[in-house]
């Protein structure tokens, strides 16, 4: 095994974050100054990093909500991330599908690539080393790295290995059929002391394979469904020396202050709404084409109540007209 067996002396503390989804547009139902609230979250993250003496902030993909946000947004975050380099904090990242243009791996066409080329984020692919810690990356659609070849040592200690991956991994009860479970990825995770995941927007932490797997969850609430509104975005500070971790909640406004829920359609049936949530996540997090997602929607709706069946019929009619 390539894992470090006893505590090292690297003393690298890592701040783990989930998807950021930086964007210039306002999510439906948000009624606050979303741009300011979003920027505030990112500022909070780096304040926490400085206070906890973290050397690294991990961003596991979906840094941006779109590959080509406006220049002003790109520059705003480029300048901010550059300002944090003065504190010797590295932001280590992999691209998520939202960062990619048409889900292609050429990041030279994207805002993510601009930040990478400007040196304000560090790509974890193929590898980045900081003192006794090695960071490996797996962006959306890429292969899992396998550091089975002997790696360097630091102070005669095995390197502490971190994997940063953007992939559809969720808890077994997440209800998303295209998602993988930790168990299915056991072999891919086996080399690493710490795995930080992006894509699934809800936090979970698992101890497995002698390591720690953290899915920090999205830093912002973007939808007015009960589950997202009730979420408390947080980050996790991980100490590579002691392997201790601490979840730190971000300061957020109460959901009723930022979400305008009165425009919600009052007669949405619970099953329909649940399906819509799944579809939103499915669109966000799987390789399915839009057609696949619609097909799945129709199949699910046909199993439902009269209202759901009627909706299935409408979707089918629209689809057959367009194809
Ligand atoms: Mn995402």
168-188 pLDDT, tens digit each: 999 888 888 889 999 999 999
* pLDDT (mean) for 198-225: 93
Burial classification of residue 176, based on how many CB atoms lie within 10 Å of its CB (0-12 exposed, 13-18 middle, 19 or more buried): middle
114-132 per-position pLDDT tens digit: 999 999 999 999 899 999 9
The rounded distance, in Å, linking the Cα atoms of 275 and 293 is: 11
Where does the pLDDT of residue 270 fall: very low under 50, low under 70, confident under 90, or very high at 90 and above?
low
Q: Is the backbone peptide bond immediately before 171 cis, with ω within 30 degrees of 0?
A: no
Q: How many residues does the chain have?
A: 323
Average pLDDT of span 65-89:
97
Q: What is the pLDDT of residues 82-96, one digit of tens each?
A: 999 999 999 999 999
From the candidate CATH numbers 3.60.21.10, 3.50.50.60, 3.90.1660.10, 3.40.190.290, the one assigned to the domain spanning 13-252: 3.60.21.10
Tokens read off for 140: 């959306």
**pLDDT value at 4 more than 80:** no
Rounded Cα gap, residues 187 and 42, in angstroms: 33
Distance 285 CA to ligand 1 centre (A): 7
Cα of 138 to ligand 1 centre, how many Å? 15
Q: If you measure from the C-alpha of residue 201 to the centroid of ligand 1, how many angstroms do you get, rounded to a whole number?
A: 6
Q: pTM, whole model, 2 decimals?
A: 0.81
- How do the domains of the chain map onto residue ranges? 13-252, 270-322
Q: How many angstroms is it from 192 CA to the middle of ligand 1?
A: 23
What pLDDT is recorded for position 266? Answer: 47
Instruction: Give the tens place of pLDDT for each residue, 33-52.
Output: 999 999 999 999 999 999 99
Average pLDDT, the chain: 88
DSSP E strand stretches across the chain = 13-16, 56-59, 90-93, 122-123, 127-130, 133-138, 153-154, 157-158, 160-166, 194-198, 204-208, 211-215, 234-239, 245-249
Beta strands in 78-224 (DSSP E): 90-93, 122-123, 127-130, 133-138, 153-154, 157-158, 160-166, 194-198, 204-208, 211-215
Residue 264 CA, ligand 1 centroid: distance in Å: 23
Residue 156: pLDDT over 80? no
| H/E stretch holding 41 | helix 34-51
With bands split at pLDDT 50, 70 and 90, how would you rate the model's confidence at 136?
very high
pLDDT of 210 over the 60 cut: yes
CA of 193 to the centre of ligand 1 (A): 24
* Distance in Å, CA 221 to ligand 1 centroid: 11
Average pLDDT over residues 140-167: 87
Query: 150 pLDDT band (50/70/90 cuts)?
Result: low
Q: What does the buried/exposed string (b/e) look like for 263-300 if buried means 16 or more CB atoms within 10 Å of the residue's CB?
A: eeeeeeeeebebbebbbbbbebbbebeeeebbebbbeb
Closest residue by Cα to residue 121 from 107, 106, 101: 107
Distance 231 CA to ligand 1 centre (A): 15
Q: Output the CA 228–ligand 1 centroid distance in Å.
A: 13
pLDDT in the model for residue 310? 80
């Amino acid at each position: 095994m390539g894992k470090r067996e006893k505590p090292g002396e690297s003393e690298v503390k890592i701040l783990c974050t989930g998807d950021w989804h930086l964007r210039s547009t306002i999510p439906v139902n948000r009624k606050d100054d979303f741009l300011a609230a979003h920027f505030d979250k990112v500022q909070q993250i780096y304040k926490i990093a400085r206070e906890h003496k973290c050397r690294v902030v991990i961003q596991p993909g979906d840094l941006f909500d779109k590959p080509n946000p406006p220049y002003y947004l790109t520059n705003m975050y480029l300048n901010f991330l550059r300002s944090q380099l003065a504190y010797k904090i590295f932001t280590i990242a992999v691209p998520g599908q939202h960062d990619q243009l048409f889900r292609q791996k050429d990041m030279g066409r994207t805002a993510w690539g601009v930040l990478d080329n400007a040196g304000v984020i560090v790509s974890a692919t193929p590898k980045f080393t900081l003192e006794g810690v090695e960071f490996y990356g797996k962006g959306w659609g890429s292969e899992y790295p396998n550091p089975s070849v002997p790696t360097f040592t630091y102070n005669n200690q095995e390197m502490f290995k971190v994997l940063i991956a953007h992939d559809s991994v969720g808890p077994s009860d997440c209800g998303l059929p295209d998602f993988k479970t930790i168990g299915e990825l056991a072999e891919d995770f086996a080399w690493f002391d710490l795995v930080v995941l992006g894509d699934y927007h809800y936090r979970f932490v698992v101890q497995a394979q002698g390591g720690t797997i953290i899915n920090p969850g999205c830093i912002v609430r973007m939808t007015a469904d009960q589950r997202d509104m009730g979420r408390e975005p947080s980050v996790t500070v991980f100490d590579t020396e002691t392997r201790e971790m601490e979840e730190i909640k971000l300061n957020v406004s109460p959901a009723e202050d930022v979400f305008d829920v009165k425009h919600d359609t009052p007669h949405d049936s619970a099953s329909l709404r649940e399906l819509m949530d799944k579809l939103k996540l499915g669109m966000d997090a799987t390789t399915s084409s839009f057609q696949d997602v619609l097909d799945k929607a129709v199949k699910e709706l046909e199993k439902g109540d009269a209202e759901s069946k009627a909706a299935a019929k409408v979707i089918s009619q629209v689809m057959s007209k367009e194809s």
